[in-house]
Amino acid sequence: MWEAATSLPEQLADALDTAHRAFGPPTSGAPAPTAVVGLGLGTAATACAAAAAIAGPQLSVPFVVCRGAEVPAIVGPTCLVLAVSSGPESPETVTATRQALELGAPVVGIGGDGELARLAAATGFPWCPVAPEGLAARAALGATTVSLLCALSRDGLVPDCAPSVTAAVGSLARRRDTFVADRGTAVELARRIGRTIPLVYGARGVAAVAARWWKACVNLNAKSPAFSAELPALAYDELAGWGQGGDITRQTMTLVLLRHGGEQAPVPALFGAVREATEEVMADILDVWAEGEDDLGRFFDLALLGELVSLEMAAREGVDPGPVPAVEQAHGPQS
């Protein structure tokens, strides 16, 4: 799992080449889709949410992420459906993909070997392979997200993401060295979190998706509870919940604030309000600032650090980050 996580820069570069070969140049002459629906669970769903957040400022149609077996009513001949599986796919994603095909929607598939890949081969919809396989497949967030962005570019919905990916690869390679040093950022954040429960906040967009990724990584790798929420929404309800119980939360919870230089007003002020409301009821408050030239670079900077922190948390407790028996018992292998 450590090797899979730290290979993120190389994963992005390889995925860009693979997706360009799989999808080819942008289609010409065909009408643009009127909506995009991403189908997936686990890492696949996070990748769909990340692609929607990164592409959002340039996307003129809605992008809906579906985490289940039922497709939304907008799915039809003019709706682009992105069927995604990072690792052994969930039966829900396969069922939803079959529904989309029956409704006449154009489908693009991304993932590893499995039933979804066989469905693509049988029906002829475009397929982009994503590696690695096995337990490490859930770490393929970068490759899956880049493939999704390339699929959007193929249909003329967004510009080619290659320049942004290339810039992010260089930045992440440098940042990785800082994160994994003996006394590096990941080690220090894991130490400060300790055995408390991390609560991860990020502003709507790439930071909110990264916060959800941090939560999932702590759950899966460290086998520990974690929670996430996004601004500004949490400032309308969750923030009020810190008025009581400080004697308990002060011993059990650490707040992690995911920040970046692209935040728009009033987000910086809201983070200030969050800190003011929680500074006396948390064991610690950690500010984590992303680097990156754009939303794509900032997202992967935060995502890489979150995964590494979760692995350091697992190491501190002697926990094997790979197997996830609770998930496998409930739903089968993690998708």
Give the tens place of pLDDT for each residue, 198-232: 999 999 999 999 999 999 999 999 999 999 999 99
Give the tens place of pLDDT for each residue, 123-175: 999 999 997 666 678 899 999 999 999 999 999 999 999 999 999 999 999 99
pLDDT score, position 163: 96
Give Cβ neighbours of residue 335 (< 8 Å, ≥ 6 apart).
40, 41, 42, 43, 44, 85, 86, 87, 88, 89, 90, 93
Domains located in the chain, CATH noted: 2-159 (3.40.50.10490), 165-316 (3.40.50.10490)
- The answer to whether 140 touches 43, Cβ cutoff 8 Å, is yes
- The answer to whether 266 touches 234, Cβ cutoff 8 Å, is no
Report how far residue 272's alpha carbon sits from residue 259's, in angstroms, rounded to the nearest whole number: 12
Residue type, 163: P
Interhelix angle for 185-193 vs 295-316, to 10°? 60
pLDDT score, position 87: 66
Q: How confident is the model at residue 262 (pLDDT cuts 50, 70, 90)?
A: very high
Helix (H) or strand (E) holding 287: strand 284-289
pLDDT score, position 192: 98
Handedness of CA 188, 191, 192, 197 (dihedral sign): positive
